[in-house]
Amino acid sequence: MLTVIIIILILLILSAFFSGAETSLTGASRPFMHQLETNGDRNAKAVNKLLERKGRLIGAILISNNLVNILASALATSMLIGMFGETGIAYATIIMTALIVLFAEILPKTYALQNSDECALKIASIVRPLVIILSPITFATQWLVKITLRFFGVKLNQGDDFISRTDELRGAIELHQGEEANKNIVAHEKAMLKSVLDLSEVEVGEIMVHRKTVTMLNADDPAHEIVDQVLASQYTRLPLWRGQPENVIGIIHAKEVLREIYKNNGSLDIDIGSLASNAWFVPETTRLL
């Protein structure tokens, strides 16, 4: 009897471990784990390997967890039937349900949820061999699940993963908050982060600076005047035109001008036109990405 009780306790501990493992690994921060792996953390690498095939991970943990729970309940039922007869079935059901729900489910999952990254790093190296060993069984169960879902008209679409991740990022940006004094800064940061996600929808015309507000250089002006304009400008790349502002013949880079002056021992008698690089002419409707 004592041996059976010890085995049941061991099985409950294993059940608690599997419950906590499921919660911590599925709740671990992927960006944080990626950063740790980049820095050479082997445990983080193990976590990422497990999360690459999350379906197999969850399948292996659920199989293991249900197996130990069923075995523990069966042993408890057998033991209590021997002690109380048929009434032992009711006792076993009540006792094992309370133990499993409280100590093997709620307690470990609550702790793992509060410390998901830390727990995931500690248990990944233990869970991974188990997942590999049970991979044939999990593969078979996943296949059966897919067949069953297809029978009911449910299709697993992997193509929506990118969309869901993008929506997840948008949600994280919306949750970004700051102190009352920094509300304007936070709002600006939110706008910037959202704009990054929308780059593929932004057209060049939306970000272009109007020609009237652009500092432009006249190629027919004397070299020393052009140099003065380059030095006075806050920009390093300036359009160069000839004849009329609409006739842009190239782009002048401030460094190229200074480099040419240095070659001429400080003389401003330089050919500005030869320093111009080709200008790109892009339709306003062109997408940024």
Same domain, 144 and 83: yes
**Residues 216-245: tens digit of each pLDDT:** 999 999 999 999 999 998 889 999 999 998
* Residue tagged 């059976």 (tokens): 4
What pLDDT, on the 0 to 100 scale, is given for residue 259?
Answer: 93
Query: pTM for the whole thing?
Result: 0.64
**Residue 37 shares a structural domain with residue 138:** yes
pLDDT at residue 251 in the model? 95
Amino acid 176: pLDDT: 65
Greater confidence (289 vs 97) lies with 97
Helix, strand, coil in percent for the chain, rounding step 5: 75, 5, 20
Residues 244 and 174 in one domain: no
Phi, psi (5° rounding) for residue 238?
-130, 135
Please tell me whether residues 16 and 120 are part of one structural domain: yes
Question: Where residue 68 falls among pLDDT bands split at 50, 70, 90?
Answer: very high
Q: Which two tokens stand for residue 58?
A: 């969850």
Mean pLDDT of the residues in the chain: 88
pLDDT at 185 > cutoff 80 = no
Tell me, yes or no, whether 38 and 131 share the same domain. Answer: yes
Beta strands at 248-253 and 217-218: parallel, antiparallel or unpaired: unpaired
Q: 233 with 141, same domain? A: no
Nearest alpha carbon to residue 24 among 126, 98, 163: 126
Looking at the structure, tell me whether residues 17 and 102 fall in a common domain.
yes
Q: Which domain holds residue 23?
A: 2-154
Average pLDDT over residues 249-275: 92
| 241 and 257 co-located in one domain | yes
Q: Check pLDDT > 80 for residue 42.
A: yes
Report yes or no on 203 lying in a domain: no
Q: Are residues 109 and 216 in the same domain?
A: no
**Same domain, yes or no: 78 and 142:** yes
Beta-bridged to residue 248, according to DSSP, are 241
If one counts the domains in the chain, the total is: 3
pLDDT of residue 197: 78
User: Does residue 282 lie in a domain region?
Assistant: no
Question: Is 288 within the bounds of a domain?
Answer: no
Residues forming beta bridges with residue 60, ordered by sequence position:
none
CB atoms within 10 A of CB 94: 10
Amino acid 161: pLDDT:
55
287 found inside a domain: no
Residues 147 and 216 in one domain: no
Q: What is the mean pLDDT of residues 38-67?
A: 93
Amino acid at 157: N
Q: Residue 179 has what pLDDT? A: 52
Q: Does any domain span residue 204?
A: no
Cβ 61 vs Cβ 69: under 8 Å: no
pLDDT value at residue 136: 92
Of the candidate ranges 77-81, 93-97, 116-120, 172-176, the one whose mean pLDDT is the lowest: 172-176
- The tens digit of pLDDT for each residue in 115-170 reads 999 999 999 999 999 999 999 999 998 889 889 988 888 876 654 454 567 777 77
Residue 63 belongs to some domain of the structure: yes
Alpha carbon 288 to its chain's center: 23
Structure tokens at 106: 């709620």
Shared-domain flag, residues 150 and 34? yes
